[in-house]
Structure 1
Amino acid sequence: MQQATTPNLTDRIIGTIEWLAAISVGVVALNIFVSVVLRKFFSTSIPDAYDFGRMLLSILIFWGIAATSYRGGHITVDLLWSAVGPRAKRAIDVFATLMLLVFVIMQTAMLFDKVRLTRIDNVLTYDLNLPTWPFYAVAWTGDACAVILIAVRTWRLIFAPDKLHDEGYETAHPSIEESKS
């Protein structure tokens, strides 16, 4: 029987980021639902619903990247990975995660520049004239969290693969399963 372990700070941060990504899905869905109901039955709309929907969707995407990047839950094509042994699988995992980390770091830097320029240019929503940069900043925060989570994933892949949360990772890597025994 396996003992229940108390999650450490890193695992609590990961859980919080995943909850924030899930909440953003709910907010986007609620915005769409309320907009459709108001338009269909009351011939009215939420001011700036389109702008809010667009910006909330970007927040959802970047927080979703954070959540899926750590868990390894994104879409992959594992033809080569499934054909090699455990050591090569681990090497491929480490290489792929390092490449993901490099690209997400570059993306985060470029998105920060977008936040900065949007603030400097004072870009506003159409109806309510609200500044849009805070929405971009929240999206950027999700992307920055993705960098942190991918870095944690990379460290755990290299130094502590038993702490990964991937479904079936241990069964795909027999050396990890044996080290638990």
Structure 2
Amino acid sequence: MKKNFADRFINGIEWLAAIFVGIVALNIFVNVLLRKFFSTSIPDYYDFGRMLLGILIFWGIAATSYRGGHITVDLLWGAVNKRWKRIIDVFATLVLLFVVIVQTVMLFDKVEGTWKDNVLTYDLNLPTWPFYAVAWVGDICAVLLIAVRTWRLVFNPESLHDEHFDSPMHEVE
């Protein structure tokens, strides 16, 4: 199957989310080794850890929002016919899109606030706003991916990567 720009963008977001998982794990691993064997730690380890975890969360939201692979409760969805399943999917995705758009706007306020207030890390006095900005970009990517998912749900559901969309049972009657 030939991949278009949207599919390549989605794969890129997923790779970035995976890279952030690796960075968080590496930060923890190196700091544990330094503390155990050398009685020292990475300067600003705690600040880096919490900000990297925030980045990881927002990029993880971006990665899972498109695929629909996150935990869902499909009690009602499983009991209705194919037409209503599609309606529920579109409605749920639109609600998710609205919530993540509001979250993105609020996170921008956090980025702007840390920049204007010149919030710095404890040990190295590095500005914290770039970390918040990277998390915010992850949130923007989540909005874009949810918008792509909504578009595909409405106009081209077979192009989605969800397990229940791959089966012919999900087609609208």
Runs of 5+ in structure 1 lacking a partner?
none
How many pairs does the alignment contain?
173
Select the residue among 120, 126, 129 that pairs with 2:122: 126
Q: TM-score by structure 2 length?
A: 0.97
CA distance in 2, matches of 1:162, 1:19: 23
Match of 1:34 in 2: 30
1:96 aligns with 2:92: yes
Residues 66 and 145 in structure 1, CA contact (< 8 A), matched pair in contact too: yes
Residues 164 and 170 in structure 2, CA contact (< 8 A), matched pair in contact too: no
| TM alignment of 1:56-95, pairs within 5 A | 56-95=52-91
CA distance in 1, matches of 2:135, 2:74: 30
In the TM superposition, what whole-angstrom CA distance separates every residue of 1:76-116 from its partner, at most 9, and x where no partner exists?
Answer: 11111111111111100000000000000000000001000
> How big is the alpha-carbon RMSD for the aligned residues of Structure 1 and Structure 2?
1.3
After superposition, the Cα gap between the structure-2 partners of 1:10 and 1:173, relative to the gap in structure 1 and judged at 3 Å, is same
Match of 1:22 in 2: 18
Q: What's the CA shift for 1:73?
A: 1.2
In the TM superposition, what whole-angstrom CA distance separates every residue of 1:148-167 from its partner, at most 9, and x where no partner exists?
Answer: 00000000000010110112
Residues 20 and 52 in structure 2, CA contact (< 8 A), matched pair in contact too: yes
Select the residue among 134, 150, 157 that pairs with 1:154: 150
CA distance in 2, matches of 1:7, 1:85: 31
CA distance in 1, matches of 2:76, 2:169: 15
Q: TM-score by structure 1 length?
A: 0.93
CA distance in 2, matches of 1:96, 1:172: 21
Identity of aligned residues (%): 75
Runs of 5+ in structure 2 lacking a partner?
none
CA distance in 1, matches of 2:60, 2:154: 24
Select the residue among 105, 114, 126 that pairs with 1:109: 105
